[in-house]
Amino acid sequence: MEWVRFTCAAICLIFAVVMENIAVYGVFKFKFVMNRMHAAAIGDTLGLMLGALGLIILKGVSWFSFKMCLVVFLLWITSAVSSHVIMRMEYSIDEEAVAEETSDIDIQGGGQ
């Protein structure tokens, strides 16, 4: 039983490390901001969850596990919202994207 638990935790932690590596690689690999944000979000969500899950499995049911769940919950909320806000700002100050959108509107208006 102890070995099964240890194996599960180890697999989770290894996958967490792999996910974080993918996130770091993606952040440096992509050129476009939104692609990079997507890559960074992988580490923030899946990597974080897998790492916490591994530690929870190692610890078993205890106050520590409850606190880890709370940490994952709070971090999932905050990191997702902060990514959203950053993307919103990027969208509002990115002149190319805004120009594309307005040109679309112009074409539609001209057609009518």
- Contact set with other proteins (CB under 8 A): 74, 77-78, 81, 84-85, 88-89, 92
Q: In the bound complex, what is the minimum distance in angstroms from residue 89's beta carbon to other proteins?
A: 8
- State the CB neighbour count (10 A cutoff) for residue 96: 7
Cβ distance 38 to 80 under 8 Å? no
**Which C-beta is closer to other proteins: that of 6 or that of 73?**
73
**Which C-beta is closer to other proteins: that of 5 or that of 88?**
88
Q: In the bound complex, what is the minimum distance in angstroms from residue 106's beta carbon to other proteins?
A: 22
**Which C-beta is closer to other proteins: that of 14 or that of 77?**
77
Cβ distance 74 to 33 under 8 Å? no
C-alpha of 5 from chain center? 27
Q: In the bound complex, what is the minimum distance in angstroms from residue 73's beta carbon to other proteins?
A: 11
Cβ distance 12 to 51 under 8 Å? yes
